[in-house]
A and B are shown apart, each in its own frame.
Chain A
Amino acid sequence: MTYTAHLEYVLRLGDSALILGQRLSEWCGHAPVLEEELALANVALDLIGQSRLLLTHAGRLEAARRDEDQLAFLRPDHQYRNLTLVELPNGDFGRTVLRNFLFTAFQRPVWEALVSSCDTELAAIAEKSLKETRYHLRHSAEWVVRLGDGTDESHARMQSALDYLWPYTTEFFTEDAVDDQVAAAALGVAWPELQPAWEASVHPVLTEAALAIPARTAFRSRGKAGGHSEHLGHLLAEMQHLQRACPGAQW
């Protein structure tokens, strides 16, 4: 299946929000305290809300005109276009909030740029999502600082989480044809252009958290092009189980 660049771009945003929302939902009933249980569930629901709007929009852009449920529950992993970072397992609470921080610090400049997209539907979704993302960013940054600059134990866990997650953030900014075409049509911003804004919000928080920022390596994940880690298949198997077992089921 070939997607147009416009559709690919919207799927990257929608799929990333959906998969992280699904990952965060795994914390239900397992968060360290009740307050964070609710906070993580709130973030998860915001992300799934964003993905519903984006996937509904994506469905209108494709020839098959699938709806949000068909896109979410009936695509195999190689048709998913999310960033690899969001499909990685949660790990401990520290790694979960650090991943939220790294990803929402990326979402923010994306929404800020898309507010002026010539795709008015996408611009409206960006405007709504921006407020949610600003809160997610604030919440996760507060935790990153407190855990990074906390006890020896919490610091060691956060540094190891950063070392694990950091290589996957390179993918946010790798250049490709989709970005170029979308930017040329004024439909969206090319993601590589967002790297300075992302670093300007991420680096000070990591420094305040007393975390050492890892060096960039040649490692490239390629989830946004459909090349996923082994983790996405397991996540989808659980998320899609009901629609696969009882196609078209509603309740």
Chain B
Amino acid sequence: MDRKEWPLWEVFIRSRNGLDHKHCGSVHAPDAGMALQSARDVYTRRQEGVSIWVVRADQIHASDPDAKPEMFDPAEDKIYRHPTFYKLPDEVDHM
């Protein structure tokens, strides 16, 4: 028999005091509406959030873990990309 599984949805919750939605887990659901309800029932039972996003997992494009060296390591020695690298004149300090 062909078992049609529900698609996987990644769940993002914004907490009461938070400004951004944070990834907190995933649910299986037949569509976006049910995914939101399931996310509510599974991940906000203890007042964890005030807003929910769900995104179909197969719609997320992820970077290749094997490409980590060329993707991220080159930034390692570019300390001048951090604002703290620059010494500000006293007059404009505490920016």
Q: Which residue numbers of A lie inside 8 Å of B, CB to CB?
A: 33-36, 38-39, 42, 135, 138-139, 142, 146
Are B41 and A39 in touch, CB under 8 angstroms? yes
- Contact across chains for B33 and A142 when beta carbons are under 8 A apart: yes
Query: What's the count of A-B pairs with C-beta under 8 Å?
Result: 29
Name B41's closest neighbour in chain A (CB-CB): A39
- Write the B13-44 contact mask toward A (1 if CB under 8 angstroms, else 0): 00000000000000111100110011011100
8 additional A-B pairs beyond A33-B6, A35-B38, A38-B42, beta carbons within 8 Å, are A34-B28, A35-B27, A35-B29, A42-B45, A138-B37, A139-B37, A142-B34, A146-B34
CB distance from A177 to the nearest CB of B (A): 40
B33, closest chain A residue (CB)? A142
Query: Would you list which residues of chain B between 35 and 71 have a CB under 8 Å from chain A?
Result: 37-38, 40-42, 45
CA distance A200 to B91 in the complex (A): 69
Tell me which residues across on chain B come within 8 A of A35, comparing CB atoms: 27-29, 38, 41-42
Residues of A within 8 A of B40 (CB): 135
- Quick one: which of B29, B33, B34, B45 has the most chain A CB within 10 A? B34
Closest to A33 in B: B28
